[in-house]
Amino acid sequence: MIRIRAVEPGDADQWVALRAALWPEEDSSVHGSEATRFFAEPTPGPGSMPEAVFVAVNSSDPAILQGFAEVSRRAYAEGCDTSPVGFLEGWYVVPEYRRRGVGGALLTAAERWARDKGCREFASDALADNAVSAMAHRALGFEEVEVIRCFRKELS
């Protein structure tokens, strides 16, 4: 049975490892410092990323994290009409636990959190070429509203 709960300081090492699996391009020290900051600031407000983190555990082995969801509130999200908007900043399920309801349970907890914070809409994003993420979002009720390309230019 899947159990969803708020991340706890004792989960830090596993949470950091799961973040590194989701965002491998980031240096692991960045993930560690993000976790340290999150636990040092127990009640972050809007604009903090993340504001809340939920983890999935199996009730028979609650020491092993099966996945996580990081959520925040944003003033704006593409395709949304209200503000603030609950936003799924990060969502990851360990491959061996996928397609077992873990991602959906994490999303349900994230949506409940956003509703409790007064949000009327919930949004997320994924890289344009991440077909697996797009499929998972659609399967759990998200509507695709935009595909964008982001550009940058260094100013000297």
- pLDDT tens for 46-80 read 767 799 999 999 888 888 999 999 999 999 899 89
Do the strands 52-58 and 2-6 form a parallel or antiparallel pair, or are they unpaired? antiparallel
147 part of a folded domain: no
154 part of a folded domain: no
149 part of a folded domain: no
Q: Which residue has the tokens 């020290």?
A: 29
Domain that holds residue 16: 2-139
64 part of a folded domain: yes
* Strand partners for 72: 87
- Classified as helix, coil or strand, 46 is coil
153 part of a folded domain: no
pLDDT at 20 over 90: yes
Give the CATH number of the domain where residue 9 resides.
Answer: 3.40.630.30
- pLDDT tens for 112-133 read 999 999 999 999 998 888 888 9
Whole-model pTM: value is: 0.90
Task: Please answer whether residues 67 and 103 qualify as being in contact, where contact means their C-beta atoms are separated by less than 8 angstroms.
Answer: yes
Cβ–Cβ contacts within 10 Å for residue 95, how many? Answer: 9
Q: How confident is the model at residue 147 (pLDDT cuts 50, 70, 90)?
A: confident
**Domain tally, the chain:** 1
27 part of a folded domain: yes
82 part of a folded domain: yes
